[in-house]
C-alpha cells in the first residue's frame, strides 16, 4: 500500500455471545499511496497549532460525553457519528494544483473531521477541540494541505522534498506545526482522522505514536484543519494545526491559543479505549497483520512495564515496544507528552476475535511493573482495564427480525438480510444477453448504439454513453441475430449509432439496422480516436478523465476499461504511448475541464509517464491491482463512493461480451470473475460486503456465470465481520 510516516521533531464488562476469529490474511487490500507526516512536537510535551475559517465551533453530541458504560449508548453514539462522517465529501472547493491555488476547505468535510476527532477523544474523556471562526492558522493549514496533495509525499519539511510544489512561508510554517496526511485514492472525513489515530505505517520503524499522541493531547483546545481534494476523490490531503510553540517561534502567535492547560487531564489514555469500543475503528498496521494498541500513563515511567492482554480465547502473545528500545533516543521521540509516558503493544490479527454481528468480545489489558516518573506523586504499580469490542457492521436493523424466526437480529447468531437475492440477465448467447440488457433501459431511448460482438474496443468505452444501450452485432460476414432486429424495433429509438469505423460496422449494416431511423457513426481512424469521439459525445464537462490501455498483447483490448463505465463522473479513453495520441487526450482533459486524470489498471497497463503526460499538471491517481479482477474490485469500490448503490453485477473476466453490454447499467458496478464454476473468492466476497450488495446480478447465461457462483454471492454477510480499519 505504500504507507509511510515522516517525523520531524522539534527540540525544546459485557458477556461474549458469539464470535468469529479474524485471520490477518483475510483483510481487505488497502489502497495505495498513503503518506502521513507528523511534526513539531516539543520535547516538553504534546503541543499544538491552530485554525482559521468560518467553520462553526462546537462539537457533535458524540463528543459531549464518553460512551463506554452502556452498550446501547456506545453503539448509538458510534453509529450516529460514523453514518454521517464516513461518506465521501469533497474536502475543498476552488483548489487548483497547477496554479497553486489552495481554494477553501469545505465546512461540511471539516466539521465531519472535527466530529470524528472529538468522538475519538471522548472515548478517553478528553476535552473536545474547537475550530474558531476566522482563525489565522487556517490559511497556512490550507496552503500546507495543497502542497501535500500535490505530492509526491506529505512532509514536515516540504522544501527539502524533491518535486514539492506550491511552497511558501505559510506552507513551511504549517507543515511544521501539526500532522499532515496525503492519500492517492479515496478517503472520507471519518477515515481521514482515523488514519492519524491508527498509525498504519510499515515505515514507522521506531514505532513512535506521534500522530496518535498528538491528536489525543489533553491540553488541545483549538485547531485549524486545512483540507484539499482534487475532484470528487483523490488525491486528498489534510494539515491539522496543533502547536502553539511553532507559531510563537515564527513570531506569529495565535489567538485564541491552541492549548488550554486547564483542560481535564485523565490519569491514563488508552487505544483502544476502555469500555465499549467499535471494531470498525480497531487500530491496524499497514500490511503488518498486527493491531497497534497503546497505553499512556500520567506521571508513569513505563520503560520496564509488562503488558498482558487476554481475550475470549485466552492470553494473546504480544510484541511490546518500550521507549527504551535500542536505537531510540527517549528525548527525541514523542513517547512522553504532557507528563505521560506511553507503551505500545502489538496484537497479532490472527489472535483477535472480531465479534459477530451485534455481539461483544471482551478483552482485558493489564499493565504491571509501573514506576513513578521523577518529580511526580506516586502512581499505582499496576492497572487493568477492559475493552468490550463490539461489531456494528451488520447491515440489517438490529431490532428487526429479518428471518422472522422470533429472534431479533441483535440476538440472532445468523440473522438474514431482507430482500438479499440474486438474479440473472442473460440469454443463450451474447446477442440475446445484450438485447436483454438493452430492454432494461428506458422504454424508448433516444439512441441505440451498435458495437461489434467480436472486437470489443469500441463497446468498452461506449458504456459511458448515457442516452441509450449498446447492442452487439456480428461482422458483416455473418447474419444479424433476429433478437437484435426485434429489440431495435421494440425500442424504437430516434437514432441508431455505430461505434467505430466502417471496418467495425459497415455503412450497409448500419443503414440496414437503422431501418429508416436516423443513422450516425461515432468512429475514428483507430480505437483511440473512437474513444475520444465517444468521450466528447458523452460529456461536455467532467470531474474525471479515466484512461485505459488501448493495445494489449496481440492487439487485445484492456479489461480495465470493461468495468470503468460504472464510474459515472467522466469518460473512459483508450491511450497508447504515442505522442499524437497522448496530445489528443491531453487536449480532451483540458476541454472537459477535468479535475483529475485516473489510470485504470496498474503501471504495466498505463505507465506513470503516460499518466503524467496526459494529466499535464492536473491531479492524478490510479485504480489498479495485480490483475483485472483486483482492478475491477478497486473500480467497484470507487464507483460506490461516487454513487452509492446496493446492486452489483458479476461478469466473466476472460470473455468480454456480457460485460460490455452491461456497461450501460447505471445502478451498480461490475465485478469480474474468472472462468469456472465454484464459489466466489474471498476478495470478491469482501468487496460485495463493502458494497452492501443486497442484489447481485449475473450478466450472461449459465455458461458464463454458473448458478453455484452466482448464489455463493449471497454469502457475503459472513464476511462483514472481517471489516476492521481499511484505507
Q: What is the pLDDT of residues 231-279, one digit of tens each?
A: 665 688 999 999 999 999 999 999 999 999 999 999 999 999 999 999 9
Can you give the pLDDT at residue 456?
Answer: 65
Provide the 3-class DSSP secondary structure of residue 62.
Answer: helix
Residue 377 neighbours by CB distance under 10 Å: 8
Is 189 in contact with 206 (CB distance < 8 Å)? no
Q: How far apart are CA 168 and CA 143, in angstroms?
A: 8
Can you give the pLDDT at residue 359?
Answer: 81
Q: How far apart are CA 665 and CA 648, in angstroms?
A: 10
CA–CA distances in Å: residue 405 to residues 411, 415, 416, 605: 11, 9, 10, 51
The segments of the chain whose pLDDT lies below 70 read 1-69, 200-206, 231-234, 285-287, 324-338, 396, 413-419, 441-443, 456-461, 552-558, 562, 579, 656-664, 720-727
Q: At what angle do helices 107-122 and 189-198 cross, to 10 degrees?
A: 40
Q: How far apart are CA 432 and CA 487, in angstroms?
A: 10
In which region does residue 182 sit, left (phi positive, over 0), alpha (psi from -120 to 50) or beta (all else)?
beta
Closest CA to 475 of 442, 502, 438, 445: 502
Can you give the pLDDT at residue 244?
Answer: 92
Q: How far apart are CA 141 and CA 135, in angstroms?
A: 10
Q: How is residue 78 annotated by DSSP?
A: H
Can you give the pLDDT at residue 232?
Answer: 61
Sheet bearing 596-600, strands edge to edge:
572-575, 544-549, 596-600, 619-623
Give the pairing type, strands 306-311 and 314-315.
antiparallel
Can you give the pLDDT at residue 482?
Answer: 92
Phi, psi dihedrals of residue 340, rounded to the nearest 5°: -105, 145
Which burial class, exposed, middle or buried, applies to 485 when counting CB atoms under 10 A from its CB (0-12, 13-18, 19+)?
A: middle
Look up residue 582 and give its three cell numbers. Answer: 497522448
Can you give the pLDDT at residue 725?
Answer: 55
CA–CA distances in Å: residue 314 to residues 306, 311, 694, 721: 17, 5, 36, 20
Q: How is residue 220 annotated by DSSP?
A: B
The alpha-helical segments, DSSP class H, found in 550-627 are: 560-564, 579-592, 608-615
Is 659 in contact with 563 (CB distance < 8 Å)? yes
Q: 599: which strand partners?
A: 547, 622
CA–CA distances in Å: residue 384 to residues 314, 332, 371: 16, 29, 15
Give the pairing type, strands 104-105 and 178-183.
unpaired
Amino acid at each position: 500500500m505504500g504507507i509511510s510516516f515522516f517525523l520531524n521533531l522539534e527540540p525544546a464488562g459485557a458477556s461474549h455471545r458469539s464470535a468469529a476469529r479474524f485471520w490477518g490474511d483475510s483483510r481487505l487490500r488497502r489502497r495505495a499511496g498513503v503518506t502521513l507526516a507528523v511534526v513539531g512536537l516539543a520535547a516538553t510535551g504534546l503541543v499544538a497549532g491552530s485554525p482559521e475559517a468560518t467553520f462553526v465551533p462546537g462539537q457533535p453530541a458524540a463528543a459531549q460525553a464518553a460512551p463506554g458504560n452502556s452498550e446501547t449508548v456506545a453503539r448509538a453514539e458510534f453509529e450516529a457519528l460514523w453514518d454521517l462522517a464516513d461518506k465521501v465529501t469533497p474536502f475543498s472547493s476552488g483548489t487548483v494544483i497547477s496554479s497553486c491555488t489552495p481554494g477553501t476547505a469545505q465546512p461540511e468535510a471539516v466539521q465531519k473531521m472535527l466530529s470524528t476527532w472529538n468522538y475519538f477523544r471522548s472515548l478517553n474523556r478528553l476535552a473536545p477541540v474547537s475550530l474558531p471562526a476566522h482563525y489565522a492558522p487556517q490559511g497556512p493549514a490550507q496552503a500546507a494541505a495543497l502542497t501535500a496533495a500535490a505530492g509526491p509525499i506529505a512532509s514536515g519539511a516540504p522544501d527539502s522534498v524533491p518535486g514539492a510544489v506550491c511552497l511558501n512561508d505559510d506552507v513551511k510554517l504549517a507543515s511544521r506545526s501539526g500532522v499532515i496526511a496525503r492519500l492517492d485514492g479515496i478517503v472520507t472525513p471519518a477515515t481521514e482522522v482515523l488514519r492519524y489515530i491508527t498509525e498504519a505505517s510499515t515505515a514507522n520503524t521506531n514505532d513512535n505514536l506521534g500522530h496518535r499522541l498528538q491528536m489525543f493531547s489533553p491540553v488541545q483546545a483549538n485547531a485549524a484543519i486545512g483540507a484539499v481534494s482534487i475532484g470528487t476523490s483523490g488525491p486528498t490531503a489534510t494539515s491539522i494545526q496543533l502547536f502553539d510553540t511553532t507559531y510563537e517561534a515564527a513570531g506569529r502567535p495565535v489567538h485564541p491559543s491552541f492549548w488550554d492547560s486547564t483542560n481535564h487531564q485523565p490519569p491514563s489514555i488508552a487505544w483502544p479505549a476502555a469500555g465499549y469500543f467499535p471494531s470498525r475503528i480497531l487500530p491496524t498496521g499497514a500490511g503488518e497483520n498486527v493491531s497497534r494498541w497503546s497505553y499512556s500513563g500520567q506521571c508513569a515511567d513505563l520503560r520496564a512495564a509488562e503488558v498482558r492482554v487476554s481475550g475470549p480465547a485466552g492470553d494473546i502473545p504480544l510484541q511490546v515496544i518500550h521507549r527504551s528500545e535500542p536505537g531510540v533516543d527517549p528525548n527525541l521521540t514523542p513517547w512522553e507528552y504532557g507528563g505521560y509516558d506511553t507503551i505500545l503493544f502489538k496484537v497479532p490479527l490472527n489472535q483477535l476475535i472480531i465479534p459477530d454481528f451485534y455481539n461483544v468480545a471482551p478483552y482485558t489489558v493489564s499493565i504491571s511493573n509501573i514506576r513513578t516518573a521523577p518529580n511526580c506523586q506516586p502512581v499505582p504499580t499496576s492497572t487493568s482495564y477492559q475493552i468490550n469490542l463490539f461489531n456494528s457492521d451488520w447491515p440489517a436493523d438490529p431490532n428487526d427480525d429479518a428471518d422472522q424466526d422470533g429472534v431479533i437480529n441483535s440476538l440472532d447468531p445468523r440473522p438474514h438480510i431482507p430482500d438479499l437475492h440474486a438474479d440473472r440477465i442473460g440469454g443463450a448467447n451474447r446477442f440475446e444477453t445484450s438485447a436483454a440488457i438493452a430492454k432494461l433501459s428506458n422504454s424508448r431511448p433516444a439512441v441505440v448504439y451498435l458495437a461489434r460482438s467480436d472486437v470489443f474496443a469500441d463497446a468498452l468505452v461506449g458504456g459511458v454513453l448515457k442516452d441509450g444501450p449498446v447492442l452487439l452485432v456480428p461482422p458483416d460476414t455473418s447474419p444479424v441475430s433476429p433478437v437484435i432486429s426485434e429489440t431495435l424495433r421494440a425500442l424504437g429509438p430516434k437514432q441508431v449509432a455505430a461505434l467505430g469505423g466502417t471496418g467495425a460496422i459497415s455503412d450497409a449494416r448500419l443503414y440496414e439496422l437503422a431501418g429508416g431511423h436516423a443513422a450516425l457513426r461515432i468512429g475514428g481512424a483507430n480505437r483511440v480516436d473512437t474513444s475520444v469521439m465517444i468521450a466528447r459525445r458523452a460529456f461536455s464537462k467532467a470531474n474525471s478523465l479515466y484512461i485505459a490501455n488501448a493495445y494489449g498483447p496481440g492487439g487485445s483490448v484492456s479489461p480495465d476499461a470493461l468495468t470503468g463505465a460504472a464510474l459515472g463522473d467522466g469518460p473512459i479513453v483508450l491511450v497508447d504511448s504515442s505522442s499524437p495520441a497522448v496530445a489528443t487526450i491531453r487536449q480532451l482533459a483540458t476541454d472537459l475541464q477535468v479535475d483529475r486524470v485516473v489510470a485504470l489498471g496498474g503501471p504495466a497497463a498505463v505507465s506513470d509517464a503516460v499518466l503524467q503526460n496526459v494529466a499535464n499538471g492536473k491531479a492524478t491517481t490510479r485504480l489498479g491491482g495485480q490483475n483485472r479482477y483486483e482492478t475491477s474490485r478497486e473500480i467497484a469500490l470507487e464507483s460506490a463512493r461516487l454513487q452509492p448503490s446496493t446492486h452489483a453485477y458479476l461478469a466473466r473476466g476472460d470473455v468480454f461480451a456480457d460485460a460490455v453490454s452491461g456497461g450501460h447499467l447505471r445502478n451498480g458496478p461490475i465485478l469480474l470473475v474468472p472462468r469456472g464454476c465454484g464459489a466466489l473468492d474471498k476478495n470478491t466476497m469482501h468487496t460485495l460486503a463493502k458494497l452492501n450488495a443486497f442484489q447481485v446480478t449475473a450478466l450472461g447465461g449459465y455458461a458464463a456465470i454458473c448458478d453455484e457462483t452466482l448464489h455463493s454471492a449471497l454469502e457475503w454477510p459472513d464476511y462483514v465481520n472481517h471489516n476492521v480499519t481499511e484505507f
